[in-house]
Amino acid sequence: MAQTAQAILDEMKKGIFHPLYFLQGEEPFFIDQIRQYAEDHALEPGERGFNQIILYGKETTMGNIMVQARRFPMMAQRQLVVVREAQEIQDFGKEEAQKLLLKYAENPVDSTILIFAYKYKKLDGRKELGKALDKKAILFTSEKVKDYQLTEWISTWLRSCGLQAGSGAAQLLADHLGNDLSRIANEIDKVKSGMKEGQELSRELILEKIGISKEYNIFELQNAIATRNLAKAIRITDYFVANPKSAALIPTLAMLFGYFSKLLLIHDSPGVRDEELAKKLGIHPYIFKEYRAAAGRFSKDQVVSAMHHLRVADGMAKGIEAGEKNELAIYRELLIQVLRS
């Protein structure tokens, strides 16, 4: 049965565990979240020594997994068998291995909780194994959070962590950290550990605790571009080049492309209320005012032109027709083309 990550976690928090889980998909964060919760809560601490078995895909076979899954628990009602990195199971692609899993799915051991953490890939739902697991197991497909959903996801995660976020906090995290959910969660934990009770998570606190320069970051670069401040934009990108850990070229270009994509959607949505557009774009209403102002400074043709130049710059950053241009030259050429158009 296909389920969402939250639905699976909600069941586990109620003490409901099923015999067979197959967690698959491109986004490892949700797979790890479910797997880790099961490892921490499926068994009592005193039961784990004999009844919690952790296997790694590249070190095991399907036959060995089935042997472990068919064991009976020792001095406990159930056992937990977790296969981490299941996409690397030595013989997973072989017909014999898939038949073993199919047979087990038809009649799993009730006293075993068997979890496959099958990352970065997913089974073909049209084939026999995919169909069988959809019917007989808890099948979860972990999808990447889309760029336009990222700010809302971060806001939800902050609330789940018991944090009250100020306007723009989630947007700043999204702009600086990108779509790496594990990194976002880790950085939020880092910030939370240093906060006082009842303290609001502000943009200033994020800049301080995560180590983002208050003057030289992607958020400030976007503002410089939005206000057509070429000198400031060049200062920021010069800093990026001199301090590669602050912001790498290709991710920065991707974020700027996403920024102009939002401006294009604003141009293509005449008559739509700002509140609706902000929600659709995943932008806090307070920050959306800045996007609306930027759309007023860049015509639709200029936005499309900027996106074209960003694609060209991305190609050069990846070695396509770059010639002898280094990162500094790529940034300079891009900024001049975008801000002097």
Span 134-165, pLDDT tens digits: 999 999 999 999 877 888 899 889 888 888 88
10-residue mean pLDDT series, the chain (341 residues): 86 96 96 97 95 96 97 95 97 94 96 97 92 95 87 88 81 81 90 82 81 81 94 94 86 92 94 88 82 94 96 92 86 93 73
Query: What is the predicted pLDDT for the residue at 167?
Result: 67
- What Å distances lie between residue 87 and 26, 58, 93, 139, 300, CA to CA? 12, 8, 9, 15, 45
Could you give the domains of the chain? 5-142 (3.40.50.300), 147-212 (1.10.8.60), 214-341 (1.20.272.10)
Q: For residue 14, with 0-12 CB atoms within 10 Å meaning exposed, 13-18 middle and 19 or more buried, which class applies? A: exposed
Tokens 């042997």 appear where? 67
What is the crossing angle of helices 95-106 and 128-136, to 10°?
A: 20
* 247: Cα within 13 Å, side-chain hemisphere: 29
Residues belonging to the chain: 341
Query: What is the predicted pLDDT for the residue at 84?
Result: 97
Q: Cα–chain-centroid distance for residue 226?
A: 26
Question: What is the value of pTM for the model shown?
Answer: 0.72
Q: For residue 165, with 0-12 CB atoms within 10 Å meaning exposed, 13-18 middle and 19 or more buried, which class applies? A: buried
